[in-house]
C-alpha cells in the first residue's frame, strides 16, 4: 500500500476535507487489477510480462510503480516530452531491480520534469512507444492516440486503456481484426470514480475507512466487473468494449423491469 500525504492529489479532496484514503492512486490501482486479471486469462505470468506505459502522469506513474512491485516488467514509459525504453527489454531483471529502476525513474522525473534522457535507457518518441513489441500496452495519457495510422503497426498482444478514449473507433476495428485483446477505458480506468463513490459513501455515513478497507472494496468491484465483461465477451463472441456496453445495457434493462 502507498501512504499518501494528507493533501490534495490532482484535485482530490484532502483527508481532512473528507477525502478518501487511496483516492490519489485509485485510477491506477483499478487498472492494475484489470492487468492482473487479463494476464491470468491470457496465461501471462508477471515475470514474463512486458508492459509499456504511454503517459507518466499520476495514473501512469502509479501503475508503473504498483506493477513493478508485483513483478511485471515495465520496459518503456513516456510523458509529454518523450519516452524511454530499456534497450534489451526482453532480459529478465529481478523483482528488486525492476522496482529499483522505477523508483529511480520517479526521482529523476521529479528532478528534471521528464523521463527523457534517463540513464541506462534509450530515448524514444510517444509514437514509438505505441508500436513496441510488448505483451501489454497501457495508453495512460491523451485521447485518440491510437489511430488508423498507427493501429496496423501495434505489436502488443493486449491493450489496457487507462486514459479516456485513447483509441479511435476506426482504430478499434483494426485492433479487433489483428486479434489484439483490449480492455476498454470504461472498465480499466473505473477505479478513480469508484473510490470517489466510496468517498461520498463515507461522507454520508460520517465514516472514514482505512486504506486497506478501501483497497479490499475496490478490488472486489474491479475484479467482479472484469469477469462480468469477460464472460459477456465469451458468451456472445464479441470484443471487450462491446461486451462492456452489452453488460451496461443489461443492467439498465434489468432495473427498468424491476
List 167's β-bridge partners, or say none: 146
**Helices (H), strands (E): how many in the chain?**
9, 7
Phi, psi of 171 (to 5 degrees): -65, -35
Residue 201 pLDDT greater than 80, yes or no: yes
**Beta-bridge partner residues of 82:** 79
pLDDT digits (tens, 9 = 90+) for 12-37: 778 777 778 888 999 999 999 999 99
Name the pLDDT band for 94 (thresholds 50, 70, 90). Answer: low
Q: What's the pLDDT score for residue 99?
A: 74
pLDDT of residue 91 exceeding 50: yes
Mean pLDDT of 147-168: 98
Compute the average pLDDT of residues 29-47: 97
Question: 157 near 136, Cβ under 8 Å?
Answer: yes
pLDDT at 126 over 70: yes
- 168: cell is 479511435
Average pLDDT score over residue span 108-119: 95
Using CB atoms within 10 Å of the CB of residue 161, give its burial: 0 to 12 exposed, 13 to 18 middle, 19+ buried. buried
Question: What digits encode the pLDDT tens for the residues 162-179?
Answer: 999 999 999 999 999 999
**135 in helix, strand or coil?**
coil
Q: How many CB atoms lie within 10 A of CB 149?
A: 11
Domains and CATH numbers, the chain: 1-258 (3.40.50.720)
**Rounded distance between C-alpha atoms, residue 196 and residue 219, angstroms:** 14
Amino acid at each position: 500500500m502507498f501512504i499518501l500525504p494528507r493533501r490534495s492529489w490532482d484535485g482530490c479532496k484532502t483527508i481532512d476535507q473528507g477525502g478518501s484514503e487511496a483516492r490519489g492512486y485509485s485510477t491506477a490501482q483499478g487498472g492494475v487489477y484489470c492487468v492482473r486479471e487479463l494476464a491470468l486469462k491470457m496465461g501471462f505470468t508477471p515475470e514474463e510480462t512486458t508492459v509499456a506505459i504511454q503517459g507518466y502522469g499520476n495514473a501512469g506513474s502509479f501503475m508503473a510503480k504498483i506493477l513493478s512491485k508485483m513483478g511485471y516488467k515495465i520496459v518503456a514509459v513516456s510523458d509529454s516530452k518523450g519516452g524511454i525504453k530499456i534497450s534489451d527489454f526482453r532480459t529478465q531483471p529481478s523483482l528488486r531491480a525492476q522496482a529499483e529502476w522505477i523508483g529511480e525513474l520517479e526521482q529523476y522525473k521529479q528532478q528534471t520534469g521528464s523521463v527523457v534522457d534517463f540513464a541506462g535507457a534509450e530515448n524514444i518518441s510517444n509514437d514509438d512507444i505505441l508500436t513496441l513489441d510488448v505483451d501489454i500496452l497501457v495508453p495512460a495519457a491523451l485521447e485518440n492516440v491510437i489511430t488508423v495510422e498507427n493501429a496496423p503497426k501495434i505489436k502488443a498482444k493486449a491493450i489496457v486503456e487507462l486514459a479516456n478514449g485513447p483509441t479511435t473507433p476506426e482504430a478499434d476495428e483494426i485492433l479487433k481484426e489483428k486479434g489484439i485483446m483490449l480492455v476498454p477505458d470504461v472498465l480499466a480506468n473505473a477505479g478513480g470514480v469508484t473510490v470517489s463513490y466510496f468517498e461520498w459513501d463515507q461522507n454520508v455515513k460520517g465514516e472514514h475507512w482505512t486504506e486497506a478497507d478501501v483497497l479490499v472494496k475496490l478490488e472486489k468491484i474491479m475484479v467482479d466487473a472484469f469477469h462480468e465483461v469477460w464472460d459477456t465477451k465469451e458468451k456472445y463472441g464479441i470484443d471487450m468494449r462491446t461486451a462492456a456496453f452489452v453488460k451496461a445495457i443489461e443492467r439498465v434493462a434489468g432495473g427498468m423491469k424491476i
